[in-house]
Amino acid sequence: MKRNHITQQDIADKLKVSRITVSKALRNHPDISAGMKERIIKAVERMGYSPNLIAKQLSLQKTFTLGIVVPDLENCFFAYLVDSIIDTATEHNYHIILTVSREKEAFERNNIMNLIGMRVDGLLVCVSQQTSDQKVFKYARKMKIPLVFFDRAIKDLNFSYVAFNDKIATKEAINQLIAGGYTKIAHFAGFSSTSIGSERCAGYKEALISNGIPIREEWIIEGGYEIDDGIRAFEKLWATGKLPEIILAVNDRVASGAYKAIRKTGLKIPHDIGILGYGFSDTAHLFSPTLSIINQDPRKMGRIAANLLIDEIQGISQNSHTEILIEVDFQWNTSILKKQSILS
Amino acid sequence: MKRNHITQQDIADKLKVSRITVSKALRNHPDISAGMKERIIKAVERMGYSPNLIAKQLSLQKTFTLGIVVPDLENCFFAYLVDSIIDTATEHNYHIILTVSREKEAFERNNIMNLIGMRVDGLLVCVSQQTSDQKVFKYARKMKIPLVFFDRAIKDLNFSYVAFNDKIATKEAINQLIAGGYTKIAHFAGFSSTSIGSERCAGYKEALISNGIPIREEWIIEGGYEIDDGIRAFEKLWATGKLPEIILAVNDRVASGAYKAIRKTGLKIPHDIGILGYGFSDTAHLFSPTLSIINQDPRKMGRIAANLLIDEIQGISQNSHTEILIEVDFQWNTSILKKQSILS
DNA sequence: ATTTTATTAGTTAACAATTACTTTAATAAC
DNA sequence: GTTATTAAAGTAATTGTTAACTAATAAAAT
């Protein structure tokens, strides 16, 4: 009906040569003489030719496209992560088809099947919290489509994955706090049913135990992952009358809620109480005082995951089952007072 | 080399029918009998057939794919916006190829040419701040590719665009503040060289003038768009010794900087000084006290832009030059005291 | 002078789907 | 009993590109 686009055939007709000659010239094939190449390139410019990548993909059986599935782009963490994946992909001349699962298994499955239909060269997936059926991933395996999980993985499928070492990082952070002279540390936890919640809580407990500090169950307050959960958690803590020196908040939104609730009581951060959260630099600096964090850099994760996938696609990485646990560092910002110089 | 994927031909061979029969059956074509359809669908399931959308796209000359160009995904505003575009696109069975220009004209041009090469059915573009050359957009026009600008537009090219009515909204917000009894209002501006900076500042000035309030140049502090710019701006203001009742911050990061600097002086928000910023609900609630905002809902913009584009693609909207200025509302949160009930 | 080699361009088939047209066989109409 | 109609499936051509061969010509080597 429209037929707007110029094809190689059109150029060939104009120059009275074969379309293969045009194809070869555009790919700088040695078959074609310099003079002919120049004529063709000039015609291309003049006629406004845009190569049809769809046709190219079909012919080459390769799309130079990566498919991404994230649970939710409104989570800044994933936004930064996707941004960094796009950066890395672009560097290697890959395009990105982005899909969002909204934490729904059905959407996730649908997205993945669609991406496979689009014949992406590889998949980057952060599984939804709901996901239990492994069928679609087994299908990807059967079709030999390179797939890398990031942040959250289905472990027993032998796909590569990249994640933060939450437990170790938490343990180390608490160790540093204890070394700095703190002993009264509470935890505003998520839910022990989610991997994030349980891993972080486990690290917290292990650190206390290994330092001989008894675990006070009333200082582990489960609740959720939102601002209101942080508010409620602190109110609960405040009601007991006995405050810790430090609160470890399970993420930055809970930390934000804690800030609000603490401010309401008139207590001062960090002088009266310190806060440690999980997150990354940019959001931590939105807090005032700036939030100390167990630093989970989304850009780092995105870069590593994308590179891993591209390596697998290009067959550089023979091993298609690489597990990378990103080493986490800490940013001791102004939400915690340095008791001793150990916190550095 | 690999040949993993099952094709319609494979299914046809297995069932000893023609591949056209398979194609028709899968599209529920009336040519094919119910019995045959059932046999084919069963074989499809059994053999794990995934339709090759690349081939389908080439054949149909339609990709059901939209291309997006955003300046930066680390800006939460754009992340929310893209999320909402994806939502809307998915509803209409469109895929999304996402690219990032990093505010660089060259990247933007490259992204757009690539997306055209991928034969996207339409383009959603937020132009980079750097962009001055219109060539690539003229090319898109010549190729008759539906294109909708969002947030920032190149106006004299007759493409549709969706934007916030910054000037009007700012004027109205300041009017409401004045009606509420405030007269001393300062503005932490961006740069007058950018459209955002100049539009917002113009609205601010117009509101003051139309209410007969003289403009105090020392209360318009240009600087930039980051946290540090907000800190510096308040320090400059503080140094003058004369404080306004309200600060209008050009965005949420500048507002955050202002919060920090104000807190440092011991002044209280909102009792000693109020803050009004631009932004959207989720980030405003991260502030404490929660930031009052001229509410620029990214989801709304994304939805409108995507629907507009899809309408143009499907020929529903005959007019391919629709300009939509989104009406902005206000969220009077706790960063401003209500002097009178007018702020509602 | 004839064979060999290199250069340059063209031919055919493939990729995996679709649409438009054609064939076959069975049924219905006269 | 012949013709018209309908259902169901098949054939050929199309989409825009690339890869693997093939062909023609000119220059170089024998």
Three-state secondary structure string covering A166-220: HHHHHHHHHHHHHHCCCCCEEEEECCCCCHHHHHHHHHHHHHHHHCCCCCCHHHE
Architecture in CATH of A60-164+298-324? 3-Layer(aba) Sandwich (3.40)
CB A301 within 8 A of CB A280: no
| Alpha-carbon distances of A324 from A28, A41, A160, A311, A341, rounded to whole Å | 40, 46, 8, 14, 32
CA dihedral (A247, A253, A257, A260) positive or negative: positive
Nearest-angstrom CA–CA distance, B340 and B344 = 9
What residue ranges do the domains of chain B occupy? 8-51, 63-165+298-328, 166-297
Percent with pLDDT over 70 in chain B: 97
Q: Which residue has the higher pLDDT, A156 or B301?
A: B301
Please state which CATH number belongs to domain A166-297: 3.40.50.2300
For strands B292-295 and B329-331, give the pairing: antiparallel
Cα B173 to the chain's mean position, in Å? 22
Of B48, B51, B54, the CB nearest to A139: B48
Apex A267 CA angle, A266 and A270, nearest 5: 145
Residues of chain A where predicted confidence (pLDDT) is lower than 50: 1, 342-344
Which pLDDT does position B344 carry in this prediction?
A: 47
Percent with pLDDT over 90 in chain B: 85
Nearest-angstrom CA–CA distance, A89 and A313 = 12
Which pLDDT does position A1 carry in this prediction?
A: 37
pLDDT in tens, A233-242: 999 999 999 9
Q: Which residues contact A86 (CB under 8 A, 6 or more apart)?
A: A96, B73, B98, B99, B100
- The whole-angstrom distance between A5's CA and the closest CA on chain B is 7
The predicted model scores a pTM of 0.93
Q: Which residues contact A276 (CB under 8 A, 6 or more apart)?
A: A173, A177, A246, A247, A248, A249, A292, A293, A294, A335, A336
A118 touches chain B (CB under 8 A): yes
B3, B4, B10, B83, best to mutate vs chain A, most A CBs in 10 Å:
B83
Apex B331 CA angle, B326 and B335, nearest 5: 140
Indicate the Cα dihedral angle B235, B239, B245, B249, nearest 10°.
-30
Which pLDDT does position B339 carry in this prediction?
A: 73
Per the CB < 8 Å rule, is B5 touching A119?
Answer: yes
CATH topology identical between B8-51 and B166-297: no
pLDDT in tens, A4-38: 799 999 999 999 999 999 999 999 998 898 999 99
pLDDT in tens, B9-63: 999 999 999 999 999 999 998 889 888 899 999 999 999 999 999 999 999 999 9
Q: Which of residues 12-41 of B touch strand C (CB under 7 A)?
A: 19-20, 23-24, 26-27, 31
> What topology does CATH give the domain B63-165+298-328?
Rossmann fold (3.40.50)
Q: Which of residues 41-100 of B touch strand C (CB under 7 A)?
A: 51-52, 54-56, 58-60
For strands A147-150 and B274-279, give the pairing: unpaired
Which pLDDT does position B343 carry in this prediction?
A: 46
| Alpha-carbon distances of A163 from A150, A153, A250, rounded to whole Å | 6, 8, 17
CB A162 within 8 A of CB A195: no
pLDDT in tens, B194-239: 888 999 999 999 999 999 999 999 999 999 999 999 999 999 999 9
| Helix, coil or strand: residue A96 | strand
SS (H, E, C) A108-177: HHHHHHHHHHCCCCEEEECCCCCCCCCHHHHHHHHCCCCEEEECCCCHHHCCEEEEECHHHHHHHHHHHH
Q: Residues for chain B: how many in total?
A: 344
Which pLDDT does position B129 carry in this prediction?
A: 86
A5, A136, A142, A288, best to mutate vs chain B, most B CBs in 10 Å:
A288
Please state which CATH number belongs to domain B8-51: 1.10.260.40
| Residue A320 dihedral angles phi and psi, to the nearest 5° | -95, 25
Residues of chain A by 3-state class (helix, strand, coil), percent to 5: 45, 15, 40
